[in-house]
Amino acid sequence: MHIFITGGAGFIGSHLTEKLIAEGHAVTVLDDLSTGRRENLAAVESAPGFTFVEGSILDAALVQRLTDKADFVIHLAAAVGVKLIMDEPSRSILTNVGGTENVLKAALREKTPIFIASTSEVYGKTTKFPFREDDDLTIGATKNLRWSYACAKTLDEFLALAYAREAALPVVILRFFNTTGPRQTGRYGMVVPNFVEAALDGRPLLVHGTGEQSRCFGHVHDAVEAILRLMKTPDAFGQVFNVANDEEVTIRGLAEAVIAATGSQSAIQLIPYSDVYPEGFEDMARRLPDVSKLERFTGFRPRLPLARVISDVVSEKRAARGGA
């Protein structure tokens, strides 16, 4: 198959590209390199069937041209990371909504099967656990701009599922939960690489709020495997899936695990959210996914443990420092 991946030079996209090339597929990557990096694709740059196009998903004509050549589209390009969303909310909304609309309209021409990346953020302030794909969503007030990302991705989902119902477009929604692993950068507030870098430097690990808020961190290899399984599951079209590991940890517990894994003498320092984010930020105490639907449809359940996630990120960061 010829697969078109938007955001393919990014963290998840580059791992997915490598796997698809290894399986013998042709892959075209579109990325504007605003958050993705060309070096993420170094392993496949000279591979037969691989094409890289530098450009924006907001360029509708370019998106249409690349989609027309594809047998399958995986739309991962987005403005991501809480810090980026808070710093540049208007650009983030435009990218996330306008870009997705362009990709969906392009896929509509030939009814090209398409996966749309969404996020656990859409669950908002929901307090019913674990989060199931058909649960009601509870989003915060519009004055709190943190919720602009959740609203934009929710609109992406509505639009995709509307095309599925009205035009029989084969669409799958992927709700990613805190996917991490090698190649993820801490530049946009991603907590695991930030903690690992701080621990290796001997700097304090900065934990926001009380540190008792909990999250579930999934390995990027599991996320890629979930995508590949869903691509081979025709019954998945028209559905929404949580793509996640359900191993829960507090952020303080995560910091402690990183310190232990690195053998660091770093301290844990609690800092108020107001010292990090502009006005309009609020956090959730807990995020816990139900992944039974993914397992039911594909026979696969993400299980790589947090210890493996941390170990792989530590190994990568140490290698980048020459093994230090």
Q: What is the set of active-site residues?
A: 149
Nearest to 197 by CA among 324, 22, 110, 73: 324
* Cα 297–Cα 225–Cα 32 angle in degrees, nearest 5: 120
Strands 218-219, 2-6: parallel, antiparallel or unpaired by DSSP?
unpaired
Nearest to 140 by CA among 124, 127, 117: 124
CA 224 to chain centroid = 11
Indicate the DSSP class of residue 283.
-
Phi-psi region of 169 (alpha: psi -120 to 50; beta: other; left: phi over 0): beta
Q: Mind giving me the DSSP string for 37-51?
A: -GGGGTTTTTSTTEE
- Measured distance CA(121)–CA(19) in Å, rounded: 27
Nearest to 19 by CA among 44, 38, 54, 2: 44
Neighbouring C-alpha atoms within 13 Å toward the C-beta of 235: 7
Nearest to 80 by CA among 62, 92, 90: 92
* Cα 266–Cα 268–Cα 273 angle in degrees, nearest 5: 135
- Measured distance CA(18)–CA(14) in Å, rounded: 6
